[in-house]
Structure 1
Amino acid sequence: MDKEKVSNAEVSALGITDIDLLVAFSRVANGLLKHQVMDKQEILANLEALIDDPEPYVQKRFGKFKNLADRIIALRKEGKFIKPPRPVNELKEEIADFPVYGIENIEEGALAQMKTAVKLPVSLAGALMPDAHQGYGLPIGGVLATTSNTIIPYAVGVDIACRMCMSIFELPADAVDTKADLLKSLLLEHTTFGMGAESCKFDDTSLFDRKEWKATGVIRSLRDKAYKQLGTSGTGNHFVEWGELLVEADVLDGIPKGSYLALLSHSGSRGFGAGIANYYSGIAMKKTKLPPEAKHLAWLDLKSEEGQEYWIAMNLAGDYASANHHEIHNKISRALKVEPLIRIENHHNFAWKEQLSDGTEVMVHRKGATPAGKGVLGVIPGSMSTPGFVVRGKGNPDSINSASHGAGRLMSRNAAFRTLKREMITTELMDKKITLLGSDIDEAPMVYKDIHTVMAAQTGLVEVLAKFTPRIVRMADPKERPED
């Protein structure tokens, strides 16, 4: 543990000037720090929140801050320590124009969330992709450019660096039929799904040699979990699947026109990313006061200590998510005894330092949106029974160099369970010759928008290079709670 302390100056900066109260706050803070109960940033964030509103801390009978909260309440009853409320960062009155692709198929909730996002005082541009649907803070399918020194944890998302990865093999596409048993067994043997799923053996753990794993207390506390979950896939809409890839022209380097066997995976940074997201989202919402409708869009200043910590952690989560996919693909290709011709991959829950078309430096948040800069390759999946596409970005400045990350949900998980019948799903999968391992009604093909409609709405954003048709699909067991 680093030998750091919470100084009297840092406690005073919270608005505490009474010497006895200052001593009490310092004693509690440094006691928690000494015994490694919390790290410094979390302690200061809790102290600031306690001063703003001590009631939640009083309700925790054996809470770490209860005695301090009792003292604050007692002082206020005496008319002392009346701390003025933190100023609210007001939203802009005017809603900036932003493009909406496929607006006829986008729900009102997603539009409303995007309108709120572009009214943030730090927002400079926005765009809504054709697969958009309502989420927390920024809608899924939302793209938001903010000032270059600000980053919004909830606009990145809880599953930091959720991404696609495709390996294309020099094997005929009909292997999904002629070698179906082998391909199915490879998925069962070399993929692991589940909320707390862990790997038994690893292909490459060199990522964990990097110094960033020691950069902050939060990262250090999550390292062991990240190590154990390397090469696992989580739950919800995460999958690993075999399919047929049709390349209709010589448009991919090293891949002649033809049909190929391909492996496609979708997952993110697992418990590590979720831990980072939840921790820094909490800090952001305590430090950046916003109106209720925008509270999940609270940002961190990259010049601050916590902003720098989140930036380091988010980028590490991105590399970890990529390593997760490589672990899966490497294990399967080795067992198949065939190296892929090419591997195509992309994040779709992340934040990048980029420039707008006028040269303005910005932070681009893509929450469920695919980077589509000029010449950039990516994968946009459909559903388990509809095609996905390998695409190349056109670099459209209106969309902030972005495209959809999939088909997008048409109905909620609860609605799926209420309205869909298993017989209907079984018939659809049989008609499309899909072998399904795991999953449940809430991931049925019918819960997603028509991928062809989605792709038609973004012809100005991406060029389609190849079509991927799923055939053998593995997802989490039905009992697992969704975490996507």
Structure 2
Amino acid sequence: MTAASANLPTTLPGTAAPVRMWLPEQEVEPAALQQLRTIADLPWVHGLRVMPDCHLGKGATVGSVIAMRGAVSPAAVGVDIGCGVAALRTDLVDDDLEDLHALRSAIEAAIPVGFHEHSAPIGDGMLTQLGVRAGTDRFWDGFAALPEKVLGREAKARRQLGTMGGGNHFAELCVDARDSRVWITLHSGSRNIGKEIAEVHIARARGLEHNRHLADRDLAVFLADTPGMDDYVRDVHWAQEYAARSRAIMIGLLRAEVARHWAARGREVAFDLPINCHHNYISIEQIDGEHMIVTRKGAISTREGGLALIPGSMGVGSYIVRGLANPDSFCSASHGAGRRMSRTAARRSFTREDLLAQTEGVECRKDTGVIDEIPGAYKDLHAVMRYQSDLVEPIAHLQTVLCVKG
């Protein structure tokens, strides 16, 4: 254990359910601390674990892991159901990198970003070409069971499968600081359909009688063995699968563009198997000897001890980690660096000149439209990693050389 984490985790006093935090209490914004207390006081909460990248969220804190008995709060997953990351190592090295502006343009043409979408859905034929498992027809059969309000969005959802969206979502090329190997990394979620599904269920939960006297109605829950719970669990699992498939498609598109870029230079590129994991999701897990409903909102699972990606901000890079399955954290770790200021505050605080300085050496957008994603708006990724040295083992530190943003 490092000196930085020697006194972690800390306990948040005065809560009904135990709260353990992998960062000093004084580093948590007051509004987020109050939000954590409100969550821990819900009668269904068995325990709350707080990751070192935590910050204020809608209803539930980003960077929170909540174990509940017989209940689930849709706000504890969030509106970007299944949001997560993927990573893929290539056999390229730093010395192979050239003409990254042309590569960025090709990636931006291949993967729709922001509010854009594919002109037509990606079918099984294209999936096979991209090296992605087929079976989309069977997956889409489940769409008919989703809430009636979203059924008219199927055509849009099909076109948005395999698209990045905006905000903090990205596609990057990074270089491993140890061996100069080049990695592809990606951050994306369930796009508009995930948001629509989440909002339907959050509104339904708010209207239930047992939630009427909650301190924060955004934390409204569904109870086990009720139609509301069954419907939510079914729909959130569908959205999680949508997000995972979407990342797999984009990894395939990125792999194709990278291969094409270097094939034009006489270089064949080899790729390892990809990493693909959620950090906004629900699962049933054994906690303290009981099966409970666990929600992670801005947190990854380390239960299987596999590899995962913990990204920083635009231009800062990421860490490839191996999970240590620490039961004290409900086998969880942070999902990234975490914001230290809101998007509005970032736009007020920084200028384009700041963006140019903080992304020097990175092939990326340098315009005012991405100032809210400037590295200075985020926490120090390296400090976040030090705080969770008992949760994950760093395998590689990746430095960003190319970043595509929505």
- Pairwise mapping of residues 266-305 of structure 1 onto structure 2 (< 5 A)? 266-287=187-208, 288-291=210-213, 293-305=215-227
Map of 1:192 onto structure 2? 112
Runs of 5+ in structure 1 lacking a partner? 1-92, 249-257, 477-484
Distance 1:94 1:442, change over 3 A: closer
Letter in 1 for 2:114: G
Give 3-state SS (helix, strand or coil) of 1:114's partner.
helix
Distance 1:128 1:223, change over 3 A: same
Letter in 2 for 1:268: G
Report if the CA contact (8 A) 1:348-1:370 is conserved: yes
| 1:343 partnered with 2:265 | no
Report if the CA contact (8 A) 2:15-2:37 is conserved: no
Report if the CA contact (8 A) 1:345-1:378 is conserved: yes
User: Offset at 1:445?
Assistant: 0.6
| 1:419 partnered with 2:346 | no
CA offsets per residue over residues 311-347 of structure 1, 9 Å max, x none?
Answer: 1111111111111111111123234334521201210
User: Offset at 1:455?
Assistant: 0.5
Report if the CA contact (8 A) 2:170-2:186 is conserved: yes
Map of 2:315 onto structure 1? 385
Distance 1:393 1:419, change over 3 A: same
Report if the CA contact (8 A) 2:103-2:257 is conserved: no
Q: In 1, distance between residues paired with 2:275 and 2:249?
A: 15
Q: In 2, distance between residues paired with 1:182 and 1:94?
A: 54
Q: In 1, distance between residues paired with 2:162 and 2:289?
A: 39
Letter in 1 for 2:169: H
Map of 1:355 onto structure 2? 286
**From 18, 25, 46, the counterpart of 1:97:** 18
CA RMSD of aligned residues (A): 1.9
Report if the CA contact (8 A) 1:388-1:469 is conserved: yes
Deviates most, 385-394 or 275-284: 385-394
Distance 1:117 1:317, change over 3 A: same
Report if the CA contact (8 A) 2:121-2:159 is conserved: no
User: Offset at 1:376?
Assistant: 2.7
- Pairwise mapping of residues 132-151 of structure 1 onto structure 2 (< 5 A)? 132-147=54-69, 149-151=70-72
- Pairwise mapping of residues 90-239 of structure 1 onto structure 2 (< 5 A)? 94-103=15-24, 104-147=26-69, 149-175=70-96, 177-195=97-115, 197-200=117-120, 202=122, 203-204=126-127, 206-210=135-139, 211-218=141-148, 220-239=151-170
Q: In 2, distance between residues paired with 1:389 and 1:198?
A: 30
Q: Which has the higher strand share?
A: 2
Give 3-state SS (helix, strand or coil) of 1:435's partner.
coil
Q: In 1, distance between residues paired with 2:196 and 2:121?
A: 23
Report sequence identity in percent: 32
Runs of 5+ in structure 2 lacking a partner? 1-13, 128-133, 260-268
Report if the CA contact (8 A) 2:248-2:276 is conserved: no
Distance 1:201 1:190, change over 3 A: farther
TM-score of the superposition, structure 1-length normalised?
A: 0.73
Distance 1:99 1:467, change over 3 A: same
Q: In 1, distance between residues paired with 2:192 and 2:80?
A: 8
Distance 1:179 1:423, change over 3 A: closer
User: Offset at 1:96?
Assistant: 2.6
CA offsets per residue over residues 143-172 of structure 1, 9 Å max, x none?
Answer: 11001x322111000000100011111221
Q: In 2, distance between residues paired with 1:129 and 1:162?
A: 17
Q: In 2, distance between residues paired with 1:301 and 1:403?
A: 27
Q: In 1, distance between residues paired with 2:147 and 2:54?
A: 35
Map of 1:436 onto structure 2? 364
User: Offset at 1:293?
Assistant: 3.1
User: Offset at 1:399?
Assistant: 1.0
User: Offset at 1:295?
Assistant: 0.9
Q: In 1, distance between residues paired with 2:156 and 2:108?
A: 23
Q: In 1, distance between residues paired with 2:280 and 2:162?
A: 19
User: Offset at 1:448?
Assistant: 0.3
Distance 1:470 1:200, change over 3 A: farther
Q: In 1, distance between residues paired with 2:119 and 2:243?
A: 14
- Pairwise mapping of residues 305-324 of structure 1 onto structure 2 (< 5 A)? 305-324=227-246
Report if the CA contact (8 A) 2:322-2:393 is conserved: yes
Report if the CA contact (8 A) 1:173-1:261 is conserved: yes
Q: In 2, distance between residues paired with 1:290 and 1:454?
A: 37
Letter in 2 for 1:207: T
